Amino acid sequence: MNILDKYKLNPNQLKATNHINGPALVLAGAGSGKTRILTLRILNLVKLEIADSNQILALTFTNKAADEIRDRLSSMLGSENIFPWMGTFHSISYKILRIFIDELTPKYKKGFAIYDTSDQTRLLKDVIKSLDLDLDQYSPQLIKSIIDTLKNSLPYDEWSIEDKNRKKIIETYQKKLEENNAMDFGDLILNCYELVSKNAKVKNYLRKIFKYILIDEYQDTNEIQFKLIKQLLTKEENLFAVGDDNQLIYGWRGASVENILNFESLFPKTRIYKLEQNYRSTPQILDVANKLIANNIKRMDKNLWTSNENGDRVELVSHYSDIIESEYVAKKILEYKEDFKLNEIAVFYRTNAQSRVLEDSLRKKKINYRIFGNISFYERAEIKDIVCYLRLISNPDDSVAFNRIINTPPRGIGAKTLQKMINLKDEGSNYIDLLRICLDSKVFSKKSEILVRKLIESIDNFLLNLKKSQSISESFEHLLVQLKYQEYLNDEDRVENISEFINVISDFEEATDHNDLSEFLNTLSISSSVDGLDSSNESVTLMTVHLAKGLEFPCVFFVGLEDQIIPHSRTHDHADELEEERRLCYVAITRAIKKLHLSYAMFRKVFGQTMPSGKSRFVDEIADSENILRFDLEKSEMSADLNNNEKVFHYRFGSGFIVHEDDDVIEDVVSVQFDSGYRKKVFIHDLEEN
C-alpha cells in the first residue's frame, strides 16, 4: 500500500506528491489543495527514507504557512521530526547568516540587529538631516522604497542611481547600518546571497545539507530570492516549486511572473503538474473567475473546475453612489443572518480609503465589524519603546534604538543635548559607553544626570541578571520597575500591552529553553507583524484584496469595481500592471466559497466631492457570463417628488427637513435645512426618510 493512499488524492495530486528527483513545477490553482500537496510531498520523502527532515529546505512567504506545514507534518510523523530548515526566506537567511556571519565580511559581527520598516525610516531621516537635504524633497518613505526595490533585484555593485543626492543618501544609510551592526530585511537575503555566491566553502556546506528544496507561493519570488535558490541547488536540481501565476499580485514589491513562466526554460528537465480541481468554490463562482483571467496574456494554460454542488449565480450590482453601495452591503448582511455567521462574511476593497463609507453603513445598522490589517501589536508605540531598550542592551552599537529610548521616559535630553552627546562619541565606543563618557564630561543637568545614572544602572542590572541565568522575562520586569516605564505610560490599555509582551518573551523561553536576548529579538523581528484572524469574534471582516490572499470565506462582497479603482488609475498605461490588477480581481473572486457579490458605483466621493465613476473594464469581461445575475440599482429608493418640510437624514450632515428653493432645478438634488443650522443642496440618493 502506498503511504499516500489514505489521503485520497486526485490523480494529478498523487503524481505531484510522488515526484522524487529533478525539478518540478506544480501549477496549483486557487482552492486546489496547494499546502496539502507540499506537506504530503515532504511526508513522502521522509517516509520513504529518501531524505531526513534536516535535509529538506522548505521556503514559505509567511510564518503562518511554515507553521501550518510543520504542524501537519508533526501530527503525521511525530514530534521527533522538527524540520529545522523550514521557514520564510528571511528567517532561513537569518539562520544561515547567524551561523556563518564571520565568513561574510568584517563589516558585521555576531549579535547583529535587524531593522524593521520604522527603524529604516527613522535612520533615513537621520541620514537625510545629516546631509543637509530637504526631507520633503527626499522623502524617507520614497528612499526606503527605492532601497527595497534595489535589494530585491541586484547586488550592490550593480546598482545604478542617477540622482547624486539619492545615491549619497543610500550609501550613507548603508554605511550607518554597518556601523550599527544592523541589517534591514532586504539585507538578510542579499547578504545571504553574497555569502553563498562568493564563499565556496559555505556554498558547498549548504548544498550537502539541502538535498531537497521546496518553495511555496513560487509566483511571489523576486530576483534576489531566485538567485539565492540557484546558488543552493545541487547538480540534481531537486527543486519542487508550487505556485499559481494567476495569483501573482505582489509585482510592486519585486515578485516576477517570469520566474514561473520561464521555469521550464531555466530548468529543462522540469516536470509540470497541473492542479485544476478546486475544492473551495461553486461551479458558478469558478466560471466567472475563469472568464476573467482568460483575458490575461502572460499566463500558463489551466482552467479551474470543481465537483462541488451548484450554487447561486454571482450577483453583479450597479449602484448610484458609494454610499448606496455600502448601505446595500449592510442590508444584505442583515438578510444573511440566518445563512451565515458574521465571521463567515468578508467585504473586500482595492484601497484602504474605501473602508470609511462601509464602516459608516455597518455602524448605522449596528453590525459588528473589524478591519483586518490595522495597526499591529508590535507597531504600538509602547512596544516599539521597550523593544528598542532590549535592542540597545543586546547591541550597544544600535543608534536607532538609542535615539528612540534616550528620552523615553523623559530625562530632559533634548535635541541640543543629544547632539552634544553624539559629538563626544569616539570610533571605538558604543552608545552605552557614550552614556558613561557624557556623565564624566558633565553634559547633563543635575536632574538629567540622576536619570541617566539610573538608566545605566538598569541596563547593568539587566545584563547581570541574564549572566546569573535569570530568564529574559524576569530581567525585563525588573528593568521596567527601575525605569518606571509603566508609571510613565499611565494608561491601562497600554500597560496591558506591556503585560502581553511579557507573555511573548515567556513563550519564546518555553520554546527555546534559553535566555539568548539576541535570538529573541531577531525572532521577534522576523515574525509576522500582522495578527491573524480570530474566528471566535462574531464580526464581519473588512480588508483589502491584497490581504485576502490565502484566505477564504463562505460569503464575499467585493465592492468598488470601478475603472479608477480596479484597475487602479496608475496602471492604465502599463500592460503588465493591468494584468496584475486583473489577477488581483481574480484572487478576490476565488476567495468565495458559496456566495459572491460584485458591485460598483456610478458616483463616488473624491476629496469631498461626488464625482462620476465608470465601471471597471473587468466588469465588462465577465458581464455576459450565464452565471452572472445583474441588478441595476442606480436609482434612489426615495422619490424625487419630496414635499416641503419632509424629514430626512443625511449620512454626513445628520437630520433635517426639505426646503424647496427657486433654483432647485438640478435633477436628483434638493435643498435641506439641517438641525445643525446648515442649509445645503444634496443628492436625493444620499438621503433617508427620518
Whether 35 sits among the annotated catalytic residues: the reply is yes
Kindly name the residue from 221, 247, 541, 610 that is annotated as catalytic.
247
Whether 302 sits among the annotated catalytic residues: the reply is no
Nearest CA to 394 out of 151, 110, 5 is that of 110
Please state, as a whole number, how many other Cβ atoms lie within 10 Å of the Cβ of residue 479.
Answer: 20
Alpha-carbon span 140 to 127, nearest angstrom: 9
Q: By the 8 A CB rule, do 374 and 531 touch?
A: no
Q: By the 8 A CB rule, do 208 and 51 touch?
A: no
Do the strands 687-689 and 647-650 form a parallel or antiparallel pair, or are they unpaired? antiparallel
Alpha-carbon span 174 to 557, nearest angstrom: 44
**Cα 16 to Cα 44, 166, 225, 242, 365, distances in angstroms:** 11, 48, 23, 10, 49
Partners of residue 654 on adjacent β-strands: 650
Nearest CA to 279 out of 300, 301, 303, 305 is that of 305
Give Rg (Cα) of the chain. Answer: 29
Residue 198 identity (one-letter amino acid)? K
CB neighbour burial string for 12-42, b if at least 16 within 10 angstroms, e if fewer: bbbbbbebeeebbbbbbbbbbbbbbbbbbbb
Kindly name the residue from 116, 184, 194, 217 that is annotated as catalytic.
217
Residue 320 identity (one-letter amino acid)? Y
Please state, as a whole number, how many other Cβ atoms lie within 10 Å of the Cβ of residue 267.
Answer: 18
Residue 118 identity (one-letter amino acid)? S
CB neighbour burial string for 303-340, b if at least 16 within 10 angstroms, e if fewer: ebebebeebebbbbbbbbbbbbbbbbbbebbeebeeeb
Alpha-carbon span 436 to 459, nearest angstrom: 12
Kindly name the residue from 70, 583, 591, 595 that is annotated as catalytic.
591
Q: By the 8 A CB rule, do 275 and 37 touch?
A: yes
Kindly name the residue from 216, 322, 579, 580 that is annotated as catalytic.
216
* DSSP character at residue 428: T
DSSP line for 551-567:
--EEEEEE---BTTTTT
Q: By the 8 A CB rule, do 169 and 143 touch?
A: yes
Do the strands 647-650 and 628-633 form a parallel or antiparallel pair, or are they unpaired? unpaired
Whether 591 sits among the annotated catalytic residues: the reply is yes
The H or E element that residue 651 is part of is none
Query: What are the grid coordinates assigned to 86, written together?
Result: 523550514
Alpha-carbon span 455 to 90, nearest angstrom: 33
Whether 88 sits among the annotated catalytic residues: the reply is no
Residue 669 identity (one-letter amino acid)? V
Q: By the 8 A CB rule, do 580 and 249 touch?
A: yes
- Tell me how many degrees the CA angle 457-460-463 measures, rounded to the nearest 5: 150
Q: Spell out the residues 6+ positions from residue 562 whose beta carbon is closer than 8 angstroms to its own.
A: 600, 601, 604, 613, 614, 615, 616
- Tell me how many degrees the CA angle 382-383-385 measures, rounded to the nearest 5: 65
Q: Please report where in the chains the cell 469595481 appears, as a residue.
A: 561
The H or E element that residue 326 is part of is helix 322-335
Q: By the 8 A CB rule, do 159 and 150 touch?
A: yes
Alpha-carbon span 76 to 19, nearest angstrom: 19
Coil, strand or helix at 630? strand
Sheet holding 24-28, edge to edge: 86-88, 56-60, 212-215, 239-243, 24-28, 271-275
Alpha-carbon span 281 to 592, nearest angstrom: 6
Kindly name the residue from 17, 34, 194, 397 that is annotated as catalytic.
34
Active site positions, annotated:
34-35, 216-217, 247, 591
